[in-house]
């Protein structure tokens, strides 16, 4: 548990680690959270300009509103030069609750799993979720006289999604393997890619939300 605070300051920020980044000088908002993570936010966009994951070690030497702060973690460092502080506020008992989400990919996977015959023709004796292959787990696999490999996306499907499906289909070897891409929507390019490679698209939609949550 770390001391959480927000700090609005004028200064510059240097990050060194996986990359090297320079920011400012300018006015930025620094957040330090309960888990020791740090983010430096600029006045636009959602993601922080600089950031560092949980468990940073903080050093600071600030007097009369100016000085330096640093945050370290493994082989990364954020170095902040502060020339003016506008405000600093503590966030006590900052909630670590997570968002309860609906309309996830998992929801679509479960829907197809429970209503398999509505989506896929043919005889299948066994259906597996998250079936492991050499190159990662497949969302759904059906086993019968032939094998059905199903990759599910919660958003409009792209060509990249098709190549992911293809990777899984090929992981099963040559025999009788059908490839299915399931999503609420699919782009034209992806659609053509599927056809070209003999795979099929499954149109799957989210059930209405009304209940729950």
Partner DNA sequence: CGGTACGTTGTGGTC
Partner DNA sequence: GACCACAGCGTACCG
Binding region for its own copies (CB under 8 A): 4, 6, 8, 14-15, 18-24, 26-29, 31, 33-35, 37, 39, 41-51, 53-54, 86-87, 89, 91-104, 134-136, 154-155, 159-160, 163-164, 166-167, 189, 193, 209, 213
d(CA 85, CA 133): 54
Q: Which of residues 33 and 127 has its CB atom nearest to its own copies in the complex?
A: 33
Residue 4 interaction partner, one of DNA, its own copies, none, beta carbon < 5-8 Å per kind: its own copies
Per DSSP, the three-state class of 170 is helix
Which residue in the set 30, 78, 80, 204 belongs to the binding site for DNA (CB under 7 A)? 78
Closest-CA residue to 74 (of 89, 93, 94, 54): 54
Find out whether 62 and 69 touch, Cβ atoms under 8 Å: yes
Q: Which of residues 120 and 149 has its CB atom nearest to DNA in the complex?
A: 149
How far is CA 184 from its chain centroid?
Answer: 19
d(CA 120, CA 139): 14
Longest Cα–Cα distance in the chain: 77
To its own copies, the closest distance from the beta carbon of 189 in angstroms equals 7
Q: Which residues pair with 178 in a beta bridge?
A: 148
To its own copies, the closest distance from the beta carbon of 114 in angstroms equals 20
Q: Which of residues 18 and 114 has its CB atom nearest to its own copies in the complex?
A: 18
Closest-CA residue to 158 (of 201, 187, 198): 187
Q: Which of residues 118 and 185 has its CB atom nearest to its own copies in the complex?
A: 185
Site for DNA in 124-183 (CB under 7 A): 130, 132, 135-137, 139, 151-156, 158-160, 164, 167-168
């Amino acid at each position: 548990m770390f001391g959480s605070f927000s700090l609005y300051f004028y200064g510059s920020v240097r990050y060194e680690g996986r990359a090297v980044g320079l920011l400012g000088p300018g006015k930025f908002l620094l957040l330090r959270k309960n888990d020791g993570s740090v983010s430096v936010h600029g006045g636009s966009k959602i993601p922080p300009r600089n950031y560092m994951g949980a468990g940073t070690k903080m050093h600071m030497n600030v007097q009369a509103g100016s000085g330096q702060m640093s945050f370290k973690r493994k082989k990364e460092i954020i170095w902040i030069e502060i020339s003016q502080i506008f405000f600093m506020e503590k966030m006590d008992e900052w909630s670590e609750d997570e968002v309860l989400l609906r309309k996830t990919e998992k929801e679509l996977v479960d829907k197809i799993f429970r209503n398999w015959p509505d989506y896929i023709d043919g005889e299948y004796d066994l259906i597996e979720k998250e079936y492991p292959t050499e190159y990662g787990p497949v969302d759904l696999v059906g086993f019968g006289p032939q094998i059905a490999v199903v990759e599910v996306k919660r958003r409009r499907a792209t060509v990249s999604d098709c190549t992911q499906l293809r990777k899984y289909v090929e992981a099963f070897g040559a025999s009788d393997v059908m490839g299915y891409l399931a999503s609420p929507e699919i782009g034209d390019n992806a659609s053509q890619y599927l056809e070209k490679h003999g795979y099929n698209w499954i149109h799957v939609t989210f059930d209405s939300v009304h209940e729950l949550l």
